[in-house]
């Protein structure tokens, strides 16, 4: 399984393999700077495909595997999410008992999907939130229940057709096929959020270079998807402009000596900035960098808070706020978020799934790891759909390779 996260400032590739128990383990990661996107949208195909090829090649070298296709993340300001509801009459497996079957669930999801969207947009994801059988609410899986009327509440995520096509074209021209397009914030949530947080209600804030994606979970299911057109690049630009230094130097200072929370560092020592054009090095107090970074981070968090305040949800976000992405690495980000949102906040790194734990347990790899995990789940789901009961794993989520090995042993050894 390969997860490919194509972002505004970097491209991440993660390779996962199923072990003998059928669990996914991360065996390779690759990272390459990205210059072909602006605010999550491809603006230079050639630059993007070079970054894609370099990131996947680095992951291949680490894992010793050859990559042919990848589950690719999509994000940016063109992403939009809406909530919809569908209603159907139950036909059922047995007309006398009105037992809800798989056909009824498919029909009600299709009814919920029937919303009017512009011609230049397409449905990216349709995620069931809950079902209602007659007047009984909050049902997660209505299969085999008895009822007359079936309703489904779903979250529909749409994206720009041209943005999706350009992204696919970049990956294809780099020599790989796109196994599927998955929303980046949905993948990041899969990697960093716990089931308890999703049930309590949580806001996932994925802080990228050009955009900040916000995904809100309520009662275990995605409820709202939105994008803020600001990210870590704006913070770096502020340092570069105010201190008259190059963008690359400003980025290095931000990562190594930057913070957005007073008291994150002990003392106010000077940061030595290399001189330009033969000029002598320039000392800058660390507190000056903080005074530049904090207002911009506050602005981004306040924009996110406005979006959250507009939501109509049945209960407060008990799971608080989880920050992930490259921008979440900034020292003091969680403390500032807790102050702005008045909610518990933490920095979310990918939860351990085995393999190169030390390599990928970084917020930068959250989306790529989530893409590999989500792709693995979809592959297993597709196999079960094609094979029915015959294709069902015998124990847990036993791997396809594991079953093949058992067959080979049985037949030839």
| pLDDT band, residue 356 (cuts 50/70/90) | confident
pLDDT of residue 386: 62
Q: Can you read off the two tokens belonging to residue 125?
A: 């994801």
Q: Can you read off the two tokens belonging to residue 174?
A: 């780099």
pLDDT of residue 61: 93
Q: Can you read off the two tokens belonging to residue 16?
A: 């996962």
Q: Can you read off the two tokens belonging to residue 179?
A: 């196994």
Q: Sketch out the chain's domains with CATH numbers.
A: 80-158 (3.30.1490.110), 195-349 (3.30.420.40)
Angstrom distance (rounded) from CA 159 to CA 270: 46
Angstrom distance (rounded) from CA 23 to CA 27: 12
pTM of the model: 0.85
On the CB side of 260, how many CA atoms lie within 13 Å of its CA?
Answer: 28
Residues 109, 128 contacting (CB under 8 angstroms): yes
Q: How much is the mean pLDDT over the chain? A: 86
Give 320's DSSP letter.
-
Per-residue pLDDT for 407 more than 80? no
Q: Can you read off the two tokens belonging to residue 290?
A: 């903080």
Give the residue-averaged pLDDT of 348-376: 88
Q: Can you read off the two tokens belonging to residue 209?
A: 């270079």
DSSP sequence for 16-32: EEE-TTS-EEEEEEEEE
pLDDT of residue 348: 92
| pLDDT band, residue 333 (cuts 50/70/90) | very high
The residue assigned the tokens 């006398």 is 96
141 — alpha (psi -120 to 50), left (phi > 0) or beta? Answer: beta
325 — alpha (psi -120 to 50), left (phi > 0) or beta? Answer: left
Per-residue pLDDT for 123 more than 70? yes
Cβ contacts of 406 within 8 Å, gap of 6 or more: none
Angstrom distance (rounded) from CA 154 to CA 298: 32
pLDDT of residue 70: 93
Q: How many CB atoms lie within 10 A of CB 23?
A: 17
Angstrom distance (rounded) from CA 308 to CA 316: 11
Give the residue-averaged pLDDT of 327-341: 92
Cβ contacts of 110 within 8 Å, gap of 6 or more: 86
Return the bridge partners of 18, or none.
24
pLDDT of residue 392: 40
- The terminus-to-terminus CA distance of the chain in angstroms comes to 29
| pLDDT band, residue 257 (cuts 50/70/90) | confident
Angstrom distance (rounded) from CA 299 to CA 412: 65
Residues 276, 247 contacting (CB under 8 angstroms): no
Question: Element (H or E) spanning 397, and its range?
Answer: none
Is the CA virtual torsion 216, 303, 257, 208 positive or negative?
Answer: positive
Q: Is 106 helix (H, G, I), strand (E, B) or coil?
A: helix
Among 42-51, 94-103, 131-140, 295-304, the minimum mean pLDDT is found in 94-103
Residues 335, 371 contacting (CB under 8 angstroms): no
Radius of gyration of the chain (CA): 23
pLDDT of residue 264: 66
Q: In what order do the strands lie in the sheet with 69-74?
A: 24-33, 10-18, 2-6, 69-74, 177-183
Distance from the Cα of residue 135 to its chain's centroid? 34
Among 91-105, 146-160, 173-187, 233-247, the minimum mean pLDDT is found in 91-105
Question: Which ranges in 91-132 belong to alpha helices (H)?
Answer: 102-113
């Amino acid at each position: 399984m390969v997860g490919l996260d194509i972002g505004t400032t970097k491209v991440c590739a993660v390779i996962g393999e199923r072990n003998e128990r059928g669990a996914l383990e991360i065996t390779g990661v690759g990272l390459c700077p990205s210059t072909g996107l602006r605010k999550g949208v491809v603006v230079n195909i050639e630059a993007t495909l070079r970054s894609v090829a370099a990131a996947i090649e680095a992951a291949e070298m680490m894992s010793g595997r050859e990559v042919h296709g990848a589950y690719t993340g999509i994000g940016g300001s063109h992403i939009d999410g809406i909530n919809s509801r569908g209603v159907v009459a139950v036909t059922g497996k047995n007309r006398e008992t009105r037992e809800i079957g798989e056909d009824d669930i498919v029909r009600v999801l299709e009814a919920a999907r029937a919303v009017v969207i512009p011609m230049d947009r397409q449905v990216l994801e349709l995620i069931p939130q809950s079902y209602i059988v007659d007047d009984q609410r909050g049902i997660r899986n209505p299969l085999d229940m008895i009822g007359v009327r079936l309703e489904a509440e779903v979250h529909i995520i749409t994206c720009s057709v041209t943005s999706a096509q350009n992204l696919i074209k970049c990956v294809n021209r780099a020599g790989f096929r796109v196994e599927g397009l998955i929303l980046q914030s949905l993948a990041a949530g899969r990697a960093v959020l716990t089931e308890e947080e999703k049930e309590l209600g949580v806001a996932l804030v994925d802080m990228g270079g050009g955009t900040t994606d916000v995904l809100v979970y309520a009662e275990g299911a995605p409820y709202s998807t939105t994008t803020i057109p600001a990210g870590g690049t704006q913070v770096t630009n502020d340092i570069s402009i105010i201190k008259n230094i190059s963008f690359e130097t400003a980025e290095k200072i931000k990562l190594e000596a930057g913070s957005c929370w007073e008291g994150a560092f002990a003392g106010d020592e000077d940061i030595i900035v290399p001189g330009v054009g033969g000029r002598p090095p320039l000392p800058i107090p660390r507190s000056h960098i903080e005074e530049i970074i904090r207002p911009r981070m506050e602005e981004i968090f306040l924009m996110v808070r406005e979006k959250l305040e507009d939501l109509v949800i049945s209960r407060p976000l008990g799971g608080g706020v989880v920050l992930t992405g490259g921008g979440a690495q900034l020292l003091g980000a969680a403390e500032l978020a807790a102050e702005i949102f008045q909610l518990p906040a933490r920095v979310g790194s990918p939860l351990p799934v085995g393999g190169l734990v030390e390599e990928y347990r970084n917020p930068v790899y959250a989306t790529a790891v989530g893409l590999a995990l989500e792709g693995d789940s979809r592959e297993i789901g597709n196999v079960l759909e094609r094979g029915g009961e015959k294709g069902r794993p015998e124990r847990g989520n036993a791997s396809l390779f594991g079953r093949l090995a058992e067959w080979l042993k049985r037949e030839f050894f």
